[in-house]
Homo-oligomer: A and B are copies of this chain.
Amino acid sequence: MMGKPERRVFVNDEDCPIRNVVAQIGDKWSMLILFALVDGADRFNSLKSRIVGISQRMLTQTLRDLEREGYVSRTVYPEVPVRVEYELTKMGRDIVKPLYKLVSWAEKHHDEIRLCREEYDKRKDS
Protein backbone atom coordinates (compact mmCIF):
# COMPACT_ATOMS: atom_id res chain seq x y z
CA MET A 1 0.00 0.00 0.00
CA MET A 2 0.94 3.61 -0.61
CA GLY A 3 3.44 2.77 -3.34
CA LYS A 4 3.83 6.39 -4.40
CA PRO A 5 7.42 7.51 -3.82
CA GLU A 6 7.65 10.38 -1.37
CA ARG A 7 8.63 13.60 -3.09
CA ARG A 8 10.27 16.19 -0.93
CA VAL A 9 8.69 19.58 -0.48
CA PHE A 10 10.79 22.73 -0.41
CA VAL A 11 10.00 25.97 1.29
CA ASN A 12 11.91 29.14 0.53
CA ASP A 13 11.56 31.20 3.67
CA GLU A 14 13.81 32.67 6.32
CA ASP A 15 14.19 29.30 8.03
CA CYS A 16 15.38 27.49 4.93
CA PRO A 17 19.11 26.85 5.40
CA ILE A 18 19.71 26.70 1.66
CA ARG A 19 18.32 30.16 1.11
CA ASN A 20 19.77 31.45 4.32
CA VAL A 21 23.31 30.83 3.13
CA VAL A 22 22.95 31.20 -0.61
CA ALA A 23 21.02 34.45 -0.37
CA GLN A 24 24.03 35.97 1.31
CA ILE A 25 26.91 34.64 -0.78
CA GLY A 26 25.00 34.39 -4.06
CA ASP A 27 25.23 38.08 -4.73
CA LYS A 28 27.59 39.76 -7.12
CA TRP A 29 30.66 40.24 -4.93
CA SER A 30 30.56 38.11 -1.75
CA MET A 31 32.31 35.04 -3.09
CA LEU A 32 35.01 37.08 -4.77
CA ILE A 33 35.77 38.85 -1.49
CA LEU A 34 35.84 35.58 0.45
CA PHE A 35 38.30 34.09 -2.00
CA ALA A 36 40.42 37.21 -1.98
CA LEU A 37 40.74 36.91 1.80
CA VAL A 38 41.85 33.29 1.58
CA ASP A 39 45.31 34.70 0.82
CA GLY A 40 45.30 36.26 4.30
CA ALA A 41 44.14 39.46 5.96
CA ASP A 42 43.96 42.46 3.69
CA ARG A 43 43.01 46.09 3.92
CA PHE A 44 40.23 48.01 2.29
CA ASN A 45 41.99 49.69 -0.60
CA SER A 46 44.11 46.66 -1.36
CA LEU A 47 40.96 44.58 -1.67
CA LYS A 48 39.44 47.27 -3.81
CA SER A 49 42.30 47.11 -6.30
CA ARG A 50 42.47 43.31 -6.30
CA ILE A 51 38.75 42.87 -6.94
CA VAL A 52 38.55 44.47 -10.32
CA GLY A 53 35.40 46.42 -11.01
CA ILE A 54 34.03 46.67 -7.48
CA SER A 55 33.02 50.12 -6.32
CA GLN A 56 33.83 51.58 -2.95
CA ARG A 57 30.20 51.47 -2.02
CA MET A 58 29.74 47.79 -2.87
CA LEU A 59 32.98 46.74 -1.17
CA THR A 60 31.96 48.47 2.04
CA GLN A 61 28.43 47.12 1.91
CA THR A 62 29.41 43.55 1.09
CA LEU A 63 32.13 43.50 3.75
CA ARG A 64 29.56 44.67 6.30
CA ASP A 65 27.20 41.90 5.28
CA LEU A 66 29.93 39.27 5.45
CA GLU A 67 30.92 40.59 8.86
CA ARG A 68 27.34 40.36 10.02
CA GLU A 69 27.05 36.75 8.85
CA GLY A 70 30.24 35.95 10.75
CA TYR A 71 32.46 35.15 7.79
CA VAL A 72 34.77 38.15 8.06
CA SER A 73 36.28 40.10 10.93
CA ARG A 74 37.18 43.77 10.84
CA THR A 75 40.10 45.21 12.79
CA VAL A 76 40.91 48.90 13.06
CA TYR A 77 44.51 49.91 13.77
CA PRO A 78 44.41 53.50 15.05
CA GLU A 79 47.51 54.67 13.22
CA VAL A 80 47.72 57.77 11.07
CA PRO A 81 46.35 57.31 8.57
CA VAL A 82 44.05 54.67 9.95
CA ARG A 83 44.55 51.08 8.82
CA VAL A 84 41.63 48.65 8.65
CA GLU A 85 42.18 44.97 8.04
CA TYR A 86 39.66 42.38 7.03
CA GLU A 87 40.23 38.71 7.69
CA LEU A 88 38.34 35.45 7.39
CA THR A 89 36.95 34.17 10.67
CA LYS A 90 36.94 30.48 11.48
CA MET A 91 33.54 30.21 9.86
CA GLY A 92 34.78 32.14 6.85
CA ARG A 93 37.70 29.76 6.36
CA ASP A 94 35.21 26.97 6.86
CA ILE A 95 32.62 27.92 4.26
CA VAL A 96 35.32 28.46 1.68
CA LYS A 97 35.89 24.69 1.55
CA PRO A 98 32.52 23.72 0.05
CA LEU A 99 32.71 26.83 -2.09
CA TYR A 100 35.98 25.62 -3.57
CA LYS A 101 34.26 22.46 -4.68
CA LEU A 102 31.73 24.57 -6.49
CA VAL A 103 34.33 26.82 -8.05
CA SER A 104 36.47 23.98 -9.35
CA TRP A 105 33.32 22.45 -10.78
CA ALA A 106 32.55 25.80 -12.39
CA GLU A 107 36.00 26.10 -13.90
CA LYS A 108 35.84 22.59 -15.29
CA HIS A 109 32.41 23.07 -16.89
CA HIS A 110 32.79 26.67 -17.92
CA ASP A 111 33.01 25.96 -21.64
CA GLU A 112 30.33 23.29 -21.56
CA ILE A 113 27.84 25.71 -20.05
CA ARG A 114 28.58 28.40 -22.58
CA LEU A 115 28.09 25.86 -25.35
CA CYS A 116 24.71 24.90 -23.91
CA ARG A 117 23.66 28.53 -23.85
CA GLU A 118 24.68 29.14 -27.43
CA GLU A 119 22.84 26.07 -28.67
CA TYR A 120 19.77 26.96 -26.66
CA ASP A 121 19.74 30.47 -28.07
CA LYS A 122 20.26 29.11 -31.57
CA ARG A 123 17.25 26.80 -31.20
CA LYS A 124 15.12 29.71 -30.01
CA ASP A 125 16.05 31.82 -33.02
CA SER A 126 14.66 29.29 -35.46
Q: Which A residues contact B (CB, under 8 angstroms)?
A: 5, 7-13, 17-23, 25-29, 31-32, 35-36, 39-40, 42, 46, 50-54, 67-70, 91, 94-95, 97-99, 101-103, 105-107, 109-110, 112-117, 120-121
Contacts and interface: CB of A to CB of B under 8 A. Distances in A.
Given A32-B18, A105-B98, A51 B113 contact: no
Contacts of A9: 50-52
Contacts of A32: 10, 12, 18-19
Classify the secondary structure of A's interface with B. helix
A19 B25 CA distance: 11
A13 B62 CA distance: 18
A3 B21 CA distance: 37
